[in-house]
Structure 1
Amino acid sequence: MPMDALQQILHIQRKKNQQVMRNVARLWDIGQKAQTPDELLDALHPWGEDRDLRFYNVLPMFLVIASVLVLILGGLLHHYFPFFFTLLASVGLGFWAYLIHESQKPIDEVIQFLRERMLSLRYNLHFQKLPDNFTDPSRTFSVLAQLKAMFPLFSKGTEVNRLDYFASTTWLHDGQRYPVIIFQYDYIVEVATTNQRGERNVIRKINKRQWGAFIFDAPVLGLAISNTGNDFFPPYIQEWETSDIQTNRKLDIYGCDAHETAKHITPSFTLKLYDFFEKFTGDLLFHPRESIVCYLGEQDLFRLQSKQVEIQEISHLRGHLRTLGMLEYNLFKEHMLKLLS
């Protein structure tokens, strides 16, 4: 009877998990074929099969528990029964549990793929890709390295300064196209002391993260604006004060040339800057020679919002994708376009 029950459980687990894997494969196919958000959502309903997106791992869990119990009993009864055989049985049960356990990774991967696919369709975001005006995809990371070198914002880390996660898009506004790269900036700050012999001792390392954007085909203004209190470096050396006292208290404004700065910092532009930095905390740099703007700040431009968080079946996934949004990104885009216009 116990063997019959075990075979039954194995059969159910195998059948359930095979169905889940078919669901995963079908989801990959749906994501690759969908051309609009509605197409993607419509393909998820009605599903027509078992809608599970959770592997059936009851038996492995019981085997792990049995393995631990056998080991404990073997330790208690080692005077009556050789502990070696108990250990062997415990390891065997644990190894069997490992063999039949299904990892959540395939489900997590397809959900992440569908998230990015939905964001690509809904917001025209292309993850880990440069905008279309960069024609050579093999130069992706060299392009990012060049962009980092153009702005004095990416040396905050004492050990690591990375832009590994990014997405590209194109903003359209008043007939103007702005290629954009949204990125995540990861860096590591070392907390260190120096002893009497001048040797540096690292106490701990702190992982930090900021988010930002490179916007292309923007006005060449040669300005640096911040509400973080950070100091700027050449060529942004001309400190500037506007005619608005409140703005001067809130923002630090630097230019490359006093005459050019005076031309660009108009009352309307000052108001746009004030509105932008009411919503965002960070540094905004207009390159002095290239038509590129760089923003780096504290708000997570990749942060996702959805009413459905826990995903254990297809209907949950559909609800998650249907309500998936990027509020910070939308707000950033809205205020940045006002600033550029």
Structure 2
Amino acid sequence: MLRNAKIKYLVVRTHGLSSHLIDPSELRSWIFIEDDRALFDKISQTSYGGFFEKPEDLSDPVKIGEVTMRVNFIRANKLISIARASPLENILRVYMSKYDLENIRRIVFSLLFGRLERVSLLPHPGYLYDTAKLSKAERLEDLLDLIEERKLSSLISNWLSGDRNTSELDLILTKVYIDSLIKPLKRGTPLYEIIRSYLENMTLGLLLKAKYLGVSNDLIIRALSGVPFKKLLEAVSQSGDLPDFLDKLLNIAPYREVSVEVRDSLRDVGEPWVIEHSVLKRAYTEAVRISMMSPMSEAYILSYLISSEWESQSLRTVLFGRISGVSKDTLYQLLSPRGE
């Protein structure tokens, strides 16, 4: 009874937080603002405004990435604070641990390639892993000792003993994330459905990027063995390059639309970030659909986090598109709902 009351309270609070997200149609309209100062003034009225100090910041890719990430961390931290001591707190922490794993990846590469400069980490000390502490490791051996989860430490150690393919480490860390997030959940619940949908899209994006980079099928299948998205893995194993993989996806009904969008976006923009954009749009659309079927369930809370990520991705697309000179019509199509 108390648990149900706690969940209901969290969901109600999340509905309130959702009202502060930028309306997608409003964000799309920013594509057509020519003047940098006018766009800066618009953004200054949002959650991102406190982190952009001057109009010139809107042309700095590093600043844009840092600001959008920071806003998402603030929102997630607020939810976790509200959920404290509830079963949902751990689920939220595990969901956000993908950023911990990204920081661990950066630390590994920094130590591996002997960079003298301080490693550039995402601006958060860690949700499950103390990445602030891990970043102080001076040797790979020290890092492995500091990682408390033995399975993760062992996987990284095995990777270091191999040919140290950087794409393989990305695949391994994603597999760790998928397993940790989906395995504890009860099948058939709205929360399970929304997380499974999100992880399916994450896997799709990872496979598209792997094909874009020319990663071998054997490496992909080996690293992602056991991932519960068999149609995607079958399509990968039966395809050659990225265009061939996209052709295979065209023949699988659930992936037909996103396959067309990725193909067209790569043709029109020519930059790999459109892969992440198109896949996150699909994840966002499906998250909203699932959460609206159970608006008072835990699924709505996850939908809020995914919506926040899509909002940040949309803002990055507007700003990166301006920097790269992408046409306004192309940007508008990228930000428009699927099928529009």
The alignment's TM-score, normalised by the length of structure 1, stands at 0.24
> Which structure's residues are more often strand, by fraction?
1
> Which structure's residues are more often helix, by fraction?
2
Larger-gyration structure (1/2): 1
The alignment's TM-score, normalised by the length of structure 2, stands at 0.24
Q: Which one has more relative contact order, counting CA pairs under 8 Å at least 6 apart?
A: 2
